[in-house]
């Protein structure tokens, strides 16, 4: 028998190898076998011993049903990712390179796959504490980690991600498996700033290497993380901020306007922005602000009647990109707070403007409640593009809001005119309970009142009061709880009026107490007769309490309908 030629010998060895591979189940073609469903059999107590002998059991654990069901669920549940840490990430060429650790919990010893979608970073050298780990594309399951042992275990690995094209500096799109506890630590050169798509970013902190700074991002339950790295601005560099399009949503209810102003695409092209400044319509009462790395916010009241208010948003770190959301309340028309059905009142859609920013226009969505009517409608500098109606009322969609070209004085941008209308709502019903003290001292007379407001229907933004004749000097004015926004005095039909505006409206079932101390503007020394002062809360549906009392006369009590 002649010996096999070298060529034929190689062919035989290759065939044997292929046959052996066909007999082996591979991770890429067959997913691990899941545990079979248990079969429940009811056994009478007197037959327990016989069944244990038949099954070869010597000991039987007795468990409460709830604990048994819990063990059964854990035995059939897939592996869970309970913590994901990505750390030591540094720039290497056009890539971000770091290390990672996944903490995995597996309820049984049957092999199973932990799904890792939407994993897009490259994972290398995954390893459990005592053995190598397999991260692969399993048929029918996608990218996953093979888990073969029960209990809590940790997989350590190296990872990397390539830079993505973008206009906002250096960008990375990281696809990572969602996890309840997930964090990323970046060690970057000191001249770089980090943004994470609006997520909070902590830093810069000192890294292990003295020339680097550490940034930390927490992104729990998110499968995609967008990172933007931008050069820290030089001192004196010109500031350029693109505001993007402003999306304004205003809901007109019978007693108030609920307004949200969203700058969803802020982008800094140059310079440093640690504060964002907005001018507000004076009728707006901000109650919530959302911004990247928000440190706090404050409102400065208008410097003069009719002037805008100013909202200052402070950031912990300079802005790179992100969104700004300002949520506000506003009264509906000028008569908010009257108890009677409101007469038609002039109304203009309140607006917010971001200073030191290039505007990108505005989309205004007006949702009008069925009980609110709009008359004498004027769109101003906006264009109506869509209307629709349903059981919740009518919705108008308008676009505009760009700067008008005929700004005066030249060089000062003039915002587009806001839409206006005459509005009619149902007004607000409220009661006022008073306690007053009058001190008729000939040399230093005084008057103090404590008025407790309770809203019965609607929302109350303003507390209008008629002052006692001659008592025009406000010595002190406070509210409890502290909701005072501002107050002003004005003359109306020959009487002095006090108008108190609240920072947040008073809603039904809530109470607010106003405390006022007054003195006469022109005291009359030696006077022996005075008119009893009366501080009148205008618009109250019901007025009751204790009328002015003195140290020499008893108080009078009673109740009366409110004065209009």
* H-state helical runs in 244-365: none
Check whether residue 433 and residue 387 sit in a common domain: no
Query: What dihedral angle (degrees, nearest 10) is formed by the CA atoms of 501, 504, 505, 510?
Result: -120
Domain boundary among 209, 231, 253: 231
Whether the per-residue pLDDT at 557 is higher than 50: the answer is no
% of the chain beyond a pLDDT of 90:
36
Check whether residue 215 and residue 247 sit in a common domain: no
Check whether residue 439 and residue 471 sit in a common domain: yes
Which range, of 24-28, 169-173, 230-234, averages the lowest pLDDT? 24-28
pLDDT at 12: 42
Bigger pLDDT: 26 or 228?
Answer: 228
Look at residue 5 and tell me if it is in a domain.
Answer: no
pLDDT at 470: 83
Give the model confidence (pLDDT) of 306-355 as tens digits. 789 999 999 987 887 788 999 999 988 754 444 444 578 888 999 999 99
Which range, of 206-220, 435-449, 451-465, averages the lowest pLDDT? 435-449
Predicted model pTM: 0.57
- Candidates 564, 331, 339, 302; CA nearest to 462 is 331
β-bridge mates for residue 113, sequence order = 146
pLDDT at 235: 66
pLDDT at 516: 94
Sign of the dihedral defined by the CA atoms of residues 258, 463, 541, 436, in that order? positive
- Segment holding 236, helix H or strand E: none
Domain boundary among 369, 399, 424: 424
What mean pLDDT do residues 220-249 have? 84
Check whether residue 392 and residue 443 sit in a common domain: no
The winner for highest mean pLDDT among 54-68, 90-104, 220-234, 453-467 is 90-104
Check whether residue 258 and residue 320 sit in a common domain: yes
Report the alpha-carbon distance of residue 420 to residue 376 in Å, rounded: 8
- Please give the sequence-ordered ranges of beta strands (E in DSSP) within 291-415, or none if there are none: 294-300, 309-315, 321-331, 345-348, 352-354, 358-368, 373-378, 382-390, 393-400
% of the chain beyond a pLDDT of 70:
81
Sign of the dihedral defined by the CA atoms of residues 140, 145, 149, 150, in that order? negative
- Mean pLDDT over the full length of the chain: 81
Q: Which residue has the tokens 């008592």?
A: 471
Check whether residue 101 and residue 223 sit in a common domain: yes
Look at residue 44 and tell me if it is in a domain.
Answer: no
Look at residue 315 and tell me if it is in a domain.
Answer: yes
Give the model confidence (pLDDT) of 62-111 as tens digits. 778 777 666 666 656 789 999 999 999 999 988 999 999 999 999 888 88
ω into residue 118 within 30 of 0, thus cis? Answer: yes
Bigger pLDDT: 413 or 242?
Answer: 242
pLDDT at 177: 95
Domain boundary among 424, 454, 469: 424
* H-state helical runs in 257-400: none
Look at residue 3 and tell me if it is in a domain.
Answer: no
Check whether residue 440 and residue 557 sit in a common domain: yes
Look at residue 330 and tell me if it is in a domain.
Answer: yes
Report yes or no: 380 and 416 within 8 Å, Cβ to Cβ.
Answer: yes
pLDDT at 176: 95
pLDDT at 503: 85
Give the model confidence (pLDDT) of 393-443 as tens digits. 889 999 987 655 444 444 445 567 899 998 887 778 889 999 988 887 777
Core vs surface per residue 250-289: b (16+ CB within 10 A) or e: bbbbbbbbebbbbbeebbbeebbbeebebbbbbbbbbeeb
Q: What angle do CA 122, 127, 131 make, to 5 degrees?
A: 150
CA 252 to chain CA centroid, Å, is: 22
pLDDT at 107: 81
CATH number, domain containing residue 386: 2.60.40.1730
Whether the per-residue pLDDT at 547 is higher than 70: the answer is no
Look at residue 210 and tell me if it is in a domain.
Answer: yes
Whether the per-residue pLDDT at 291 is higher than 80: the answer is yes
The DSSP call for residue 379 is -
Look at residue 36 and tell me if it is in a domain.
Answer: no
Give the model confidence (pLDDT) of 112-156 as tens digits. 999 999 999 999 999 999 999 999 999 888 899 999 998 999 999
Report the alpha-carbon distance of residue 519 to residue 521 in Å, rounded: 6
Report yes or no: 145 and 127 within 8 Å, Cβ to Cβ.
Answer: no
Which range, of 18-32, 147-161, 184-198, 493-507, averages the lowest pLDDT? 18-32
- Segment holding 351, helix H or strand E: none
Looking at the 3D structure of the chain, how many domains does it have? 3
Using DSSP's 3-state secondary structure scheme, residue 18 falls into: helix
Check whether residue 340 and residue 456 sit in a common domain: no
Look at residue 301 and tell me if it is in a domain.
Answer: yes
Show the domain range for 461: 429-561
CATH number, domain containing residue 488: 2.60.40
| 88, two tokens | 């030591």
pLDDT at 549: 56
Check whether residue 356 and residue 221 sit in a common domain: no
| 460, two tokens | 């109350």
Check whether residue 221 and residue 154 sit in a common domain: yes
pLDDT at 334: 57
Question: What is the bridge-based pairing of β-strands 352-354 and 275-280?
Answer: antiparallel
The DSSP call for residue 26 is P
DSSP collapsed to 3 states, 31-77: CCCCCCCCCCCCCCHHHHHHHHHHHCCCCCCCCCHHHHHHHHHHHHC
Check whether residue 398 and residue 456 sit in a common domain: no
pLDDT at 37: 60
Query: Cα dist. 516→339, 460, 479, 506, 521 in Å?
Result: 22, 19, 9, 18, 15
Using DSSP's 3-state secondary structure scheme, residue 23 falls into: helix
Check whether residue 478 and residue 462 sit in a common domain: yes
């Amino acid at each position: 028998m002649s010996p096999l030629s070298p060529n034929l010998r190689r062919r035989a060895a290759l065939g044997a190898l292929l046959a052996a591979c066909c007999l082996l189940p591979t991770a890429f073609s067959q997913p691990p076998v899941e545990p079979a469903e248990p079969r429940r059999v009811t056994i009478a107590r007197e037959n327990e011993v016989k069944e244990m002998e038949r099954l070869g059991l010597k000991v039987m654990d007795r468990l409460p049903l709830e604990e048994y069901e819990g063990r059964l669920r854990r035995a059939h549940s897939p592996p869970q990712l309970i913590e994901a840490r990505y750390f030591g990430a540094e720039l290497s060429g056009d890539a971000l390179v770091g290390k990672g650790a996944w903490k995995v919990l597996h309820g049984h010893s049957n092999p199973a796959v932990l799904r890792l979608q939407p994993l897009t970073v490259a994972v290398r050298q995954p390893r459990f504490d005592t053995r190598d780990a397999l991260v692969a594309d399993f048929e029918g399951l996608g990218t996953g980690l093979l888990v073969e042992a029960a209990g809590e275990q940790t997989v350590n690995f190296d990872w990397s991600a390539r830079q993505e094209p973008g206009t906002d500096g250096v960008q990375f799109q990281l696809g990572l498996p969602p996890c309840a506890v997930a964090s990323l630590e970046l060690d970057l050169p000191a001249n770089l700033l980090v943004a994470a798509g609006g997520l909070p970013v902590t830093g810069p902190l000192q890294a292990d290497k003295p020339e680097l700074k550490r940034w930390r991002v927490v992104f729990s339950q998110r499968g995609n993380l967008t990172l933007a790295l931008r050069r820290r601005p030089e001192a004196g560099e010109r500031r350029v901020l693109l505001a993007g399009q402003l999306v304004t949503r205003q809901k007109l209810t019978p007693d108030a306007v609920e307004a949200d102003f969203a700058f969803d695409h802020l982008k800094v092209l140059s310079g440093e922005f640690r504060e964002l400044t907005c001018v507000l319509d004076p009728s707006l009462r901000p109650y919530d602000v959302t911004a990247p790395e928000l440190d706090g916010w404050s409102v400065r009241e208008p410097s003069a009647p009719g002037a805008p208010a100013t909202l200052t948003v402070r950031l912990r770190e300079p802005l790179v990109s992100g969104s700004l959301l300002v949520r506000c309340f506003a009264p509906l028309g000028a008569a908010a707070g009257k108890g009677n059905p409101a007469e038609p009142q002039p109304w203009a859609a309140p607006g917010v403007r971001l200073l030191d920013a290039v505007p990108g226009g505005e989309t205004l969505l007006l949702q009008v409640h069925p009980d609110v009517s709009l008359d004498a409608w004027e769109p101003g500098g906006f264009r109506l593009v869509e209307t629709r109606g349903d059981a919740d009322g009518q919705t108008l969609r308008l676009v505009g809001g760009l700067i008008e070209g005929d700004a005066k004085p030249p060089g000062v941008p003039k915002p587009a005119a806001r839409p206006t209308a005459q509005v009619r709502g149902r007004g607000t019903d409220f009661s006022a309970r008073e306690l007053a003290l009058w001190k008729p001292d000939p040399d230093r007379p005084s008057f103090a009142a404590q008025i407790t407001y309770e809203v019965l229907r609607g929302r109350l933004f303003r507390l209008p009061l008629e002052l006692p004749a001659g008592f025009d000097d406000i010595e002190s004015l406070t509210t409890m709880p502290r909701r005072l926004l501002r107050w002003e005095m004005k003359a109306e039909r020959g009487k002095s009026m006090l108008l108190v505006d609240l920072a947040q409206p008073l809603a039904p079932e809530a109470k607010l107490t106003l405390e006022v101390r007054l003195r006469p503007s022109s005291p009359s020394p030696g006077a022996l007769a005075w008119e009893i002062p009366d501080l009148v809360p205008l618009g109250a549906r019901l007025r009751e309490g204790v009328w002015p009392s003195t140290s020499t006369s008893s108080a009078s009590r009673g109740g009366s309908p409110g004065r209009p």
